[in-house]
Structure formats: structure tokens, C-alpha cells
Chains A and B, each alone.
Chain A
């Protein structure tokens, strides 16, 4: 396992010897074996690996959606692995944005309301949150689509709504699990560029999970996972533009 080359002071996310074992009856599935990693503020980190290598498991544990069998996870000074469900939900509400492969928009809400949802959960009043959400929709290029229901939008548009929703509350960290998994290659490029631009311009930290090697090119750091272990950490030296040109 390679040590990081650029330590920028105290890490934002600290994962120490995390192991996750699923028990399915008699059978044990080791999803993560022994993973340690630090992620710094403002980094775009991509987890690359084949299906079943343990990427989603890693992401979910850092987001506090499930508990590791062993090991510790800190975001800032907060021990995520120790928080109960209520606290971890509150923590996510304040600090974490999520982008899903299947978008996961709420069907009975309009695009604007879907984008507003994290603010609704925080109890922000309607006038203020709609202003913020409108600005966010404009930023992802969906001006004029505010009143549409998810079912009236294309996959790419839905994912833009998903991105706007993840970013609207200006969370410190954004998690994206296969965000382009359901999109064609053109849309993938647009969506990835959008995510990266937004995250960079706000100095947010992005953790990206994919099995698609070309997506890794958008990241600052590429972590390769195989069978529940990190086998390679690679710092991307070339900037995103030049990587794109090489494709």
C-alpha cells in the first residue's frame, strides 16, 4: 500500500483499518479487508475497481450509512463509526451531499422541490430555500425546468437535478456512487464536468466511486480497490483538460 505523497496538514477524513464482513447465513463475505486512508479538504478522490470490489461499502461506511465490523472513521474530529443513527443522520444533513447512480429523485415533487429537499429537512423557510434552489438549478443548466416532475425529464437532466440537490446545502463533502452509471458517454462527460466544476469552485471535497477508468481522469487522486483492499493510490498530475484531450 502506497503512502500519500502530498500531506496537506490534518486530513478531513481519516479511515483507519476498516474491515467489513457481511454474514449471509453460514457464509461470510469480506467486503472490505483492511482499509486505511486519509482524504484532505478540497480533494477529488476517485475509487476505482471492478464490480464487487468493495467500493460502495467503503463509501457507505464513511457516510455513516452502515457501521464497520472493525476500525475507525473520523470526519474532522467526529467518530462516524460511533454515532447512533439519529446523530449520523443529522451529521449528513449538515455536512454531506449525495449523488446516486439511479438519481433517486422523489417522484411527487417538482425539480425545484427535489433540489430544495435538503433545505426543507433543515427547516429553511420556503422563500429563502427556493431562491437558493433556483440559483442552484441555474448553475447546473436547468433554468426553466423548475416545475417539471422527474418523470418528464431525461436521465441526464434528472442527474443534474440530483447534483443540484447534493450541492444546494453547500455540504463539506459530496459522495457520488457511480454518478454516470446510467448515462451515455456524451452526457457522462457533461455531468462529470459539471460536478467537478461545481465542487472545485466551492472548495468542496468529492469522493467518487466508479468502475469506469475514464471517470478517474477527473480526479486528483485515484484509489484502486480490489477484493476489499486498496492496491494502488495514484496522484493525477495532469489537469483535467489535458486528460480529456488525450481521450
Chain B
């Protein structure tokens, strides 16, 4: 028998007993719906957790701090020390895309009459782009930009006139503007404190290069400069403060307090942190520290919800088996006739398997459509009605229920598989039915 005829025959058999077929299909619809909707809530929760954590910072970024033991430890122990040699070692860890040492200084930046105080971060301009930052205005920082300043997305909004009380909402135009950079907190004020011991910090001329695109992390609250430029400024500030400590050490070369490590795949972050902490002796900070605990919770909730769905699909499988067995009793004589006039045994088995599979597949398709509908309603109607309740469940983000395409496909495949599996026993029974026996009982 060719497949088209087989399929045609199966459809007719199913449509012959519409009510009963429908009942079996409804079972699968409910089962599929239960699994998909339950899992979609789990995925919604996970996505919300992720959103929440991303707001804590860039998930790809690990901030590394030295252990503060520069020069104290024995001769060739580089544990916990950030210098050129260990930076290279970091960049060679599997999964690491880029590494840069970080220096920072909290200073005032002024454009025209307006000022703001912010953290200046000195960075290697060549690796900045590797950290996946993009500009929304102007351009990226280049190594040749002498005293060029790249602004975090929120910084331009914070400029104010120190002599007036006007906090405008409008972000200050900084790209292409001349800037003044100084550690003097009172820069631009007409009325300065009268303290005579006040340190006389130098003022530096700078230039606005660009503004970073909005990122939901701390990069939005900083400004960036070339490492070498910021080093000069810091050195001058130290001199003004009469501070003699040096970050250069004869044995270790130049050392840094901090470095950033960028990991391409979020999945690798955990492993990289482990190497940095346990093998290399650094302190690390990454938003993924939070993620794991939350992920565990989300996984558990999802497993429980998915399990409930699974049980209902199992019940649906019993429904299919029952339908097929009833169908065999009813069609015993037909099966006998088909065998006597020459239907291949395998075709008879296939017929029942396909019928059961079709119930599973059909139920799966309808179940999926219904799931998407329910998911849509949950994300639109329910989210408003039950807003506060959902936020307690971790409904921080924009959607309660998310159905990834692979869950949809997987559920469909599973429903079909359940159908075929449920039909397997009955199909064998039909195949092994004695043709004579089935014709005799009239």
C-alpha cells in the first residue's frame, strides 16, 4: 500500500467515529496545552530573572580585583596580582574574548558653565569595542584621542550649573565640545570654600568624543578615557596631594587594582570565574553570581509545572490507547476481510499506528494554537488584572508566559510520539488478529 492511500484510509477511519476521535483528540489538546503553558510560565520566569539580573550589569563582564598584595608575596608568586603578564594569562582562559586593566578616578567634568561629578575609567581603547559597547552619538574612543572622553549613556543628563538651581531634564550636548577635567569638586562655583589648606588640583583640557548606547548596567554611569591620559591626570593629582606611592614595582612591573574580563558566551562565565578565583587568586564580581541561584529556582518551578503538564499528557495517552482498542473491537471484521483479501500485515499495523499518531499530532497542533492564545491572554489581560500577584511570583518583566519555538516544536513532536506509542500495542493486536476468527463471529 502506498503512503497516500494509507493516510487516506486512516483519515476516513478517524472521521467515521467523529465523536470518539474528538474525545481522544481533546485529551491530547489538554495535555499539550498543560505542558506548553506550564513550561511557558517557567520560561517567562527565567526571562524575568534574566532581565532583572541584566539590570544589575553586563552579564558578559567579570570585574576582577587584585588581592592587594603587590610586592608583599614571595619572589615569583603572581597570585592575585594584576600586571601585564597575568593580564595575558587571563586573556588565554577558554571563553575569554577580551581583557583590559582598569584604573579609575572620581572627578569633575565641565562643559561650558555646567558640571557633573563622575567616575573616570581609563581603558585600553583598542579592546573597548570587543566589550560589545556601541555608541548612540559621536564615535568610539580611539587610542589617538588625547584626553578624549566617551560618556556613559546617563552621564550627559546629570550636568548642572553649580551656581543655579536648575536641574534640566535635557541631556547636555557633549559630543565635539571642549571639556575641563579636574579633581576639584568645587570647579565652576563662584563661592568656594574658604579653607586655606585646600589642595590646588590641576585642570586639564579634554574633548567629548561620543556617548554610549543605552545599556542597562553601570557602564551608563561612567565616562571613559584612554588609559595613558588618565594615568597622567592621576599622577598629577597625586602630586598635588603630595602622595608618593607608586604603582610601578621593580619585580612586577606596572600593576593595576582592577581589570575587566569579557566572556563571549554567558554560559562560560561561571567557568571563567572559577579559574580567576581559585587558580589565579583574584576577587571577582559578576552579575551571574546572582543568576545561578535564580536560575535554580526557575528550573525547579519549571520542572514542577512541566511535570503537571506531563501527567495530563500521560492521561491523554491512555485515552488514545483506549480509543484504538475500541476501534479494533469495532473493526475486527474489517481487519479480517482486509487480511483475507491481501492487505500486508505491516500495512495493517501501520494503519493503526498512523491513526493513533494522527490523533496525537492533531491534538498537538490544536493544543499549540490554544497554548499561544492562552499565552497571549496571560501576557495582555492577565498581566493587568493580576499584576501585583504576578510580581510576587517574580513577574518583574514584560511577559508572564513565553513559548520558545523549540518548546512548541518539541511539544508537537512529543504529542505525536505519545500518540504513536499509545497506538503501538493496539496496532500489534490488530496485526496479529486471526483473519478467520474475526470473520467467524457473525
Partners in one complex: yes
Residues of chain A whose beta carbon lies under 8 Å from any beta carbon of chain B: 60, 63, 65-66, 85-86, 89-90, 92-94, 96-98, 100, 102, 104, 106-109, 117-118, 120-123, 125-126, 165-166
Q: Is the CB of A92 within 8 A of B342?
A: yes
Partner of B439, one of A86, A100, A117: A100
Q: Is the CB of A104 within 8 A of B439?
A: yes
Q: Is the CB of B13 within 8 A of A121?
A: no
Q: Is the CB of A89 within 8 A of B5?
A: no
Q: Which residue on chain B has the smallest CB distance to residue A66?
A: B436
B220 to chain A minimum Cβ distance, whole angstroms, is 68
Q: Is the CB of B1 within 8 A of A120?
A: yes
A60 to B346 alpha-carbon distance, docked (Å)? 22
Q: Which residue on chain A has the smallest CB distance to residue B343?
A: A121
A66 to B344 alpha-carbon distance, docked (Å)? 17
Q: Is the CB of B16 within 8 A of A118?
A: no
Q: Is the CB of A98 within 8 A of B345?
A: no
Q: Is the CB of A121 within 8 A of B340?
A: no
Residues of chain B whose beta carbon lies under 8 Å from any beta carbon of chain A: 1-2, 4-5, 12-13, 16, 333-334, 336-347, 435-436, 439, 442
Q: Is the CB of A117 within 8 A of B345?
A: no
Q: Which residue on chain A has the smallest CB distance to residue B17?
A: A108
A16 to chain B minimum Cβ distance, whole angstroms, is 22
The 8 closest A-B pairs by CB, nearest first: A93-B342, A104-B337, A92-B342, A108-B12, A121-B343, A108-B16, A120-B5, A123-B2
Q: Which residue on chain B has the smallest CB distance to residue A60?
A: B436
B436 / chain A contacts, CB cutoff of 8 Å: 60, 65-66
Can you report 22 A-B residue pairs in the complex whose CB atoms are below 8 A from each other? A65-B436, A85-B345, A86-B344, A89-B339, A92-B341, A93-B341, A93-B342, A100-B439, A102-B442, A104-B336, A106-B337, A107-B16, A107-B334, A108-B13, A109-B12, A117-B341, A118-B341, A118-B342, A121-B1, A121-B342, A121-B343, A125-B2
Q: Which residue on chain A has the smallest CB distance to residue B6?
A: A120
Q: Is the CB of B344 within 8 A of A90?
A: yes
Q: Which residue on chain B has the smallest CB distance to residue A106?
A: B334
A63 to B12 alpha-carbon distance, docked (Å)? 29
Q: Is the CB of A89 within 8 A of B345?
A: yes
Residue in B12, B13, B343 whose Cβ sees the most chain A Cβ within 10 Å: B343
A2 to B187 alpha-carbon distance, docked (Å)? 134
A96 / chain B contacts, CB cutoff of 8 Å: 342
Q: Mostly helix, strand, loop or mixed at chain B's interface?
A: helix
A121 to B6 alpha-carbon distance, docked (Å)? 9
Q: Which residue on chain A has the smallest CB distance to residue B442?
A: A102
Residue in A92, A165, A166 whose Cβ sees the most chain B Cβ within 10 Å: A92
A93 / chain B contacts, CB cutoff of 8 Å: 341-344
Partner of B340, one of A65, A102, A126: A65
Q: Is the CB of A123 within 8 A of B342?
A: no
A96 to B343 alpha-carbon distance, docked (Å)? 12
A166 / chain B contacts, CB cutoff of 8 Å: 341
Partner of A65, one of B13, B16, B345, B435: B435
Q: Which residue on chain B has the smallest CB distance to residue A65?
A: B436
B343 / chain A contacts, CB cutoff of 8 Å: 89, 93, 121
Q: Which residue on chain A has the smallest CB distance to residue B436?
A: A65
| A121-B12 in contact given A65-B436, A104-B337 (Cβ < 8 Å) | no
Given contacts A85-B345, A90-B344, 18 further A-B contacts (CB under 8 A): A65-B340, A65-B435, A66-B436, A86-B345, A89-B339, A92-B341, A92-B342, A98-B341, A100-B439, A102-B442, A106-B334, A106-B338, A108-B12, A108-B16, A120-B1, A121-B347, A125-B2, A126-B5
Q: Is the CB of B333 within 8 A of A104?
A: yes
| A89-B342 in contact given A60-B436, A65-B435, A104-B337 (Cβ < 8 Å) | yes
Residue in A85, A100, A104 whose Cβ sees the most chain B Cβ within 10 Å: A104
A64 to B347 alpha-carbon distance, docked (Å)? 19
A94 to B342 alpha-carbon distance, docked (Å)? 8
A123 to chain B minimum Cβ distance, whole angstroms, is 5
B336 / chain A contacts, CB cutoff of 8 Å: 104
Residue in B4, B339, B342, B344 whose Cβ sees the most chain A Cβ within 10 Å: B342
A221 to chain B minimum Cβ distance, whole angstroms, is 24
A189 to B344 alpha-carbon distance, docked (Å)? 34
A85 / chain B contacts, CB cutoff of 8 Å: 345
B71 to chain A minimum Cβ distance, whole angstroms, is 86
Residue in B13, B334, B336, B341 whose Cβ sees the most chain A Cβ within 10 Å: B341
A86 / chain B contacts, CB cutoff of 8 Å: 344-346
B442 / chain A contacts, CB cutoff of 8 Å: 102
A122 / chain B contacts, CB cutoff of 8 Å: 342
A38 to chain B minimum Cβ distance, whole angstroms, is 24
A60 / chain B contacts, CB cutoff of 8 Å: 436
A123 to B342 alpha-carbon distance, docked (Å)? 11
